[in-house]
Amino acid sequence: MRKKIIAANWKMNKTFSEATNLLKELKSGISKLPNNKAIVVIAPPFPYLSQAVNELNGLNNVFVAAQNCYSEEQGAFTGEVSAPMLQSLGVKDVIIGHSERRNYFKEDADFLLKKTICGLKNNLTPIFCIGETLQQRESNKHFETVKNQLEETLFKLDKTSFAQVIIAYEPVWAIGTGLNATPAQAQEMHNYIRFVVSEKYGSEIAQSTSILYGGSCNEKNASELFACKDVDGGLIGGASLSATSFLEIVKQMPQ
């Protein structure tokens, strides 16, 4: 089922006490939101996952995600964190393919696909990120880039597996830059993504796939982005580090 989702990606931010405070503020703020129908997903760094699960436990439609996982289930992979570990903590989703992972850690399509499969096998919902660079957009290759990113990863899944995935369209030029995609640019790309999904898996799957927008989404622009027909929510970085800003964004999801 197509769901409205607002996900917070804290990235590599917050000390333990700062994370504790933010989780408490989120808990109290979310529980006071009148008629919130959106699913809220919080993705703190690994060390705070267990605490986040405990703190947010019992809130309706609130889940904890990891920002990454490894492609193997266990073994001699020093420093890595596996999908079964995350699942055993009560984590529900995992962000895969974020542009920062692709760029700084050189994660390629095959690796991202393996992580996705491993996540799904362990009952984690992948929030799979795709999006073009500024250079690709300026040379009018943004549609082609996004389609290729899907073809070399998610489109290798069977229909049942694909149906469990959440897509996040995050134009790289908009991430952390303060320069968000306009609602028209976001709608155009989300509509295109839904179109290629429907070509591959049929219109029923395409209509039920949640496609989130990410990239400088904040309390000032969220309502116009969320008003777009094919935008099902947001993946929020910088603006998710303050409970006030993040809750303001959640409030802007149309009911």
Catalytic residues: 98, 170
Residue 231 corresponds to which tokens in the numbers above? 């935008």
Give the contact letters, 141-180, x = binds to ligand PGA (CB under 6 A), - = no: -----------------------------x----xx----
Select 170 or 230, whichever has its Cβ closest to ligand PGA.
170
- Determine the Cα–Cα distance for residues 210 and 165; give it in Å rounded to an integer: 8
Query: Residues in contact with ligand PGA, total (CB under 6 A)?
Result: 13
Beta strands in 135-232 (DSSP E): 166-169, 211-214
Min dist CB 102 to ligand PGA, Å, is: 12
Q: Are 214 and 236 in contact (CB under 8 A)?
A: yes
Select 175 or 228, whichever has its Cβ closest to ligand PGA.
175
* Cβ contacts of 35 within 8 Å, gap of 6 or more: 255
Q: Are 161 and 120 in contact (CB under 8 A)?
A: yes
Q: Which of residues 235-254 bind ligand PGA (CB under 6 A)?
A: 235-239
- Determine the Cα–Cα distance for residues 125 and 106; give it in Å rounded to an integer: 22
216 touches ligand PGA by CB under 6 A: yes
Q: How many residues does the chain have?
A: 255
Q: Which of residues 7-66 bind ligand PGA (CB under 6 A)?
A: 9
Select 166 or 206, whichever has its Cβ closest to ligand PGA.
166
Select 175 or 253, whichever has its Cβ closest to ligand PGA.
175
3-class SS at 156? helix
Give the contact letters, 175-214, x = binds to ligand PGA (CB under 6 A), - = no: xx-------------------------------------x
233 touches ligand PGA by CB under 6 A: no
- Determine the Cα–Cα distance for residues 140 and 189; give it in Å rounded to an integer: 12
- Determine the Cα–Cα distance for residues 145 and 137; give it in Å rounded to an integer: 9
97 touches ligand PGA by CB under 6 A: no
Candidates 215, 228, 232, 247; binder of ligand PGA (CB under 6 A) is 215
Min dist CB 234 to ligand PGA, Å, is: 8
Task: Give the CB-nearest residue to ligand PGA.
Answer: 237
SS (HEC) of 210-240: CEEEECCCCCCCHHHHHCCCCCCEEEECHHH
Select 13 or 61, whichever has its Cβ closest to ligand PGA.
13
3-class SS at 100? helix
Chain positions contacting ligand PGA, by CB under 6 A: 9, 170, 175-176, 214-217, 235-239
